[in-house]
């Protein structure tokens, strides 16, 4: 039975019953679709703090209790018991794959993991020192020129092929944005490797030498990919959905997602965290940094702290902290920045400013330390986020194709000049 909330719209003295929609978990949503047609009123929610932009069955986040579920499975369990390929299948199809489904999925990823040779010439148009995310925005978008004519997004088969192509090609696309910058010839995918190992060999391997995978690093990298694979309606995923609602080419939609992810308030935070830790430098400088973060006249924020949805711990940050310690120990690295990070977290979590505002370390707080230990350059961190999030983006893109609400078209509260006339008008 549909529940309703009674809304009395005082401006026009009209009363409306608005249906309440119940999801499986999380807060209910008031359906305001009739607000404008019936009352000529719009809902105002800049930043979408109280807005459910769509229905989705992919990922659930409970920010008050630090819960993240992919298709119902807790992120901690997936990080422990699954690999990235299984998680991608789960996000795309709704269930963990059975053995034959898994093999078929891997075969598809293998079939589509090469880049058209012509794509490689796009890289040469970029300056060597271009930011990898700038390159990724361009090259992912450029893929739309390769597959546009042979794809009909009305056909489920074509849609699935486009989604697989995106996931499968992203490792080489990302790796090439690095190898191009250092002038090293790009290695091709090698299907004897799993997804993460394959990426590592394309990123760090020399074409002239055998690449030996370090299983501890490959596993840590796989966990990073799993943790970043999806996060419901975040800025980049919403960007993908918005772009896709017009029926745009999927490669172009994902390029839009890459662009949105780049910002320091979103995926760019992992790079910003490491820069901040380097700037702080030593444990003695932490109080100064904390004071700056609290000063309203200073734009400095503690990067890797706070989250729009998590008002308790970010479950991803706990998993990644364990991996960071494991990898540093395995490699015998004593990173003073880890000490700075641990102390910073300890001090901030006891500080009333952070407690009152419910600011906790998010996934990016430790991922930079881990990625640096693995040998990734700092400006490449967000490209790894993009590599992982492609699994989520394509899953949302696929889900959206079954929705029938048409193009997304938000409205606005207009605060500009009322009607006036051109000075030359007689």
The residues of the shown chain that bind ligand CMC, judged by CB under 6 A, are 231, 234, 265-267, 269, 293, 301-308, 357, 359, 362-364
User: Shortest Cβ distance from residue 273 to ligand CMC (Å)?
Assistant: 7
Nearer to ligand CMC, 92 or 303 (CB): 303
In DSSP notation, 19-65 reads: EEE--SSS--EE--TTHHHHHS-----GGGTT---S--SSEEEETTT
The three-state secondary structure class of 70 is: strand
| Comparison of 186 and 234: residue with beta carbon closer to ligand CMC | 234
User: Shortest distance, CB of residue 363 to ligand CMC, whole angstroms?
Assistant: 5
Could you tell me how far CA 55 lies from the centroid of its own chain?
Answer: 19
- Report the sign of the C-alpha dihedral through residues 166, 168, 174, 177, in that order: negative
User: Of residues 194, 230, 314, 364, which has the active-site annotation?
Assistant: 364
- The reply to whether 364 belongs to the active site is yes
Contact assessment for residue 402 and residue 362, using Cβ atoms and an 8 Å cutoff: no
Given 3-state DSSP classes, what are the helix, strand and coil percentages for the chain, each rounded to the nearest 5? Answer: 55, 5, 40
Q: For residues 201 and 197, what is the distance between their CA atoms, to the nearest angstrom?
A: 6
Q: Which is nearer to ligand CMC, 218 or 259 (CB)?
A: 259
Rounded to whole angstroms, the Cα distance separating 368 from 416 reads: 43
What separation in angstroms does the CA of 311 have from each of 206, 266, 277, 296, 355?
44, 16, 23, 21, 10
* Residue closer to ligand CMC (CB basis): 138 or 306: 306
For residue 239, the Cα-to-chain-centroid distance in whole angstroms is 11
* Measured distance CA(121)–CA(99) in Å, rounded: 38
CB of 408 to ligand CMC, least distance (A): 21
Query: In b/e form, how buried is each residue of 249-263, taking b as 16+ CB within 10 angstroms?
Result: bbbbbbbbbbbbbbe
Cα three-residue angle 371-377-380, rounded to 5 degrees = 85
User: E strand or H helix at 14, and its extent?
Assistant: strand 14-21
In the complex, the smallest distance separating the C-beta of residue 68 from ligand CMC, rounded to whole angstroms, is 11
User: Quick one: 144 or 238, whose CB is closer to ligand CMC?
Assistant: 238
Paired residues of 16 in beta bridges: 7
Q: Could you confirm whether 158 is annotated as catalytic?
A: no
Q: How far apart are CA 238 and CA 236, in angstroms?
A: 5
Q: Which is nearer to ligand CMC, 153 or 378 (CB)?
A: 378
Least Å distance, CB 14 to ligand CMC, is 33
d(CA 68, CA 234): 13
User: Which residue's Cβ lies closest to ligand CMC?
Assistant: 306
The smaller minimum CB distance to ligand CMC, of residues 109 and 348, is found at 348
Of the listed 228, 307, 314, 396, which one is catalytic? 307
For 7, 62, 316, the CA distances from 74, given in Å and listed in that order, are: 37, 11, 11
Cβ of residue 197: shortest distance to ligand CMC, in angstroms?
25
Output the smallest distance, CB 218 to ligand CMC, in A: 23
Q: Which residues are catalytic?
A: 307, 364
């Amino acid at each position: 039975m549909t529940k309703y909330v009674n809304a009395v719209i005082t401006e026009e003295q009209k009363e409306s019953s608005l249906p309440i929609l119940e999801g499986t978990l999380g807060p209910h949503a008031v359906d305001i679709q009739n607000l404008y047609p019936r009352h000529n009123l719009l809902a105002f929610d800049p930043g979408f703090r109280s807005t459910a932009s769509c229905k989705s069955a992919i990922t659930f986040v409970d920010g008050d209790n630090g819960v993240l579920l992919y298709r119902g499975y807790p992120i901690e369990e997936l990080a422990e018991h699954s690999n990235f390929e299984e998680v991608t299948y789960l996000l795309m199809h709704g269930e963990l794959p059975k053995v034959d489904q898994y093999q078929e999925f891997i075969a598809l990823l293998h079939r589509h993991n090469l880049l058209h040779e012509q794509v490689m010439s796009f890289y040469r148009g970029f300056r060597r020192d271009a930011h990898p995310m700038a390159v990724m925005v361009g090259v992912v978008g450029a893929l739309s020129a390769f597959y546009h004519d042979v794809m009909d997004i009305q056909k489920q088969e074509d849609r699935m092929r486009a989604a697989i192509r995106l996931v499968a090609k992203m490792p080489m696309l990302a790796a090439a944005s690095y190898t191009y910058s250092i002038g090293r010839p790009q290695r091709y995918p090698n299907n004897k490797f799993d997804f993460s190992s394959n990426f590592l060999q394309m990123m760090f391997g020399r074409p002239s030498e055998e690449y030996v995978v370090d299983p501890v690093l490959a596993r840590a990298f796989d966990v990073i990919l799993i943790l970043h694979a999806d996060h419901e309606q975040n800025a980049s995923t919403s960007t993908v959905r918005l772009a896709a609602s017009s029926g745009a080419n999927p490669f172009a939609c994902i390029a839009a997602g890459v662009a949105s992810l780049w910002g320091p308030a979103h995926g760019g935070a992992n790079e910003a965290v490491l820069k901040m830790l380097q700037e702080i430098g030593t444990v003695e400088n932490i109080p100064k940094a904390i004071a700056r973060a609290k000063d309203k006249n200073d734009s400095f924020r503690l990067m890797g702290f706070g989250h729009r949805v998590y008002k308790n711990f970010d479950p991803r940050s706990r998993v990644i902290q364990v991996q960071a310690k494991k990898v540093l120990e395995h490699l015998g690295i004593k990173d003073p920045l880890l000490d700075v990070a641990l102390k910073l977290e300890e001090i901030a979590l006891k500080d009333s400013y952070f407690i009152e505002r419910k600011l906790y370390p998010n996934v990016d707080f430790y991922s930079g330390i881990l990625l640096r230990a693995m040998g990734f350059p700092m400006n490449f961190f967000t490209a790894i986020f993009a590599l992982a999030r492609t699994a989520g983006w394509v899953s949302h893109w696929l889900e959206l194709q079954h929705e029938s609400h048409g193009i997304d078209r938000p409205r606005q509260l207009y605060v500009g000049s009322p009607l006036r006339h051109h000075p030359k008008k007689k």
